[in-house]
A and B are shown apart, each in its own frame.
Chain A
């Protein structure tokens, strides 16, 4: 799988290259600035891009903007955005075009290489990988409002959270140590209680859930 990587700190860039290569990814370009990233994305059209939000020259949200611009020119280009902090504002901008292949994770998630690589693969295959922090904040707000979310059982809420992160039924089953059949039952309950159109594709499911939560 071909990857374009953008990270300005040498140590992290080096570490990420080694991590990805050890999981049999091919890093076709590793850049350290925003304009270079946009060029590399358009030149290589990789299977997936792993992008740090903050990049030179402005050290603001250069990486995010380059990724959004690349997706505007190459619709559906899979991008996983990494950041030292996650903002709902940015999560929404990334999800706004409604097509999949989007990830937004805290840099800490790299500490769990298996989980991280799973997220990269998910994004590459057109799925979604939202950071649990983003999802938790969405939930907190909805629960505060005392909306329909409070009608869910704690288990259903857990399932909904993992769904919002972009996990597949199989992954949710593994995470919660339950059968896939049980997961399917929970999801159909959730969709009924929240009045959401049923959907099997993991990606469409994420969008439905996130749209519901905001």
Chain B
């Protein structure tokens, strides 16, 4: 047994007692909760269940935190998001319904029953073994009163004289060492028991991810609509008002001062051209014309032509994809290209597009300076969010010094 193991062995001793106390609390709450559920029939349960659920979750979350600390891996909360709070009895009923229909609630209950039995045995064993072992080792010093009382055993050794006391001491040493040695493994077993019952199931995890990405998508599109509204209001709309005013003035001046009218009309023409340019840019930001005309491959080729960088495009796509997926991938690639131009100062960029295994994939490789970090730039986060809205993924490989490879994937069918 090396030093590290001894230390973790000793550390595991201290963890048995918190598990025991938590388990007692959990057992009590289990009884209360089950009682509350049985009272739903007479109405009282509707008041009690949501309140008790809060307590249950708080206590079980303690077990989650312990399991996370001892296993070194985070344990996510699996609960479904709470419904919008409504006042009165209706709200109470909705909350009760929410608690009882969440599979995580029932898994919590299972945990509250299993932990006081199996969990406590696992977590408390190291401490029990070590304390018991110490007791055995003390036997040679304290054996006399024990032997005098007669019929006393340390494990299977009857304590009758000094020889048997030394025998017990040796046995105690072995027990103590066994407790220290088994401690970390037992604690790991406890943590993995906790993980199986307390972490979100795959479905719950997926629901949570989808809920997050959906609310992201809703927020992004709301922000986008606001931007479009503002652009139209301050841009084209304002210019059209000015156009109308100019034309009104021109009408007034027509008889008196034809020269001035000529100047006003020239201005008006310029203003209408500017309004058109603004509208064109706006439309391009909403849905690029080539994407609508030709689909993703040509749209990305057009993007490459417009980019100041040297971009090669290899597209292996036959048929059209679903429009929203096409658009998401287009803007993700566009963002990746902008990002590369802005931060990496590459000389060449290559873009690959292909469809494989029920997913649309793209890879953007630049030979710039690398070191791209999604936690710093908003660009990469933006790409991630854009893809997440369609259950897609972004993988970044960017060593300092480059090259940088962005791999993007969107599940979709090819039509």
Contacts and interface: CB of A to CB of B under 8 A. Distances in A.
Interface of A: 53-54, 60-61, 84-85, 87-90, 92, 107-108, 111-112, 137, 140-141, 144-145
Interface residues of B, number: 22
B304 to A, nearest CB: 9
B305 interface: yes
B326 to A, nearest CB: 13
B308 A141 contact: yes
Contact of B280 (A60, A85, A144): A85
B131 to A, nearest CB: 76
A53 B294 CA distance: 12
A60 B307 CA distance: 23
Q: What 4 pairs between A and B have smallest CB-CB spacing?
A: A144-B308, A61-B293, A60-B293, A88-B305
A140 B309 CA distance: 10
B273 interface: yes
A88 B302 contact: yes
Contacts of B301: 89
B276 A108 contact: yes
Contact of A61 (B272, B283, B294): B294
Contacts of B310: 145
Contact of B305 (A54, A89, A111, A112): A89
B306 A111 contact: no
A53 B290 CA distance: 11
A87 B284 contact: no
B298 interface: yes
A111 B290 contact: no
Interface in B292-340: 292-294, 298, 301-302, 305-310
Contacts of B280: 84-85
Contacts of B381: none
B289 A89 contact: no
Contacts of A54: 289, 293
Contacts of B298: 89
Contacts of B273: 108, 111
A88 B306 contact: yes
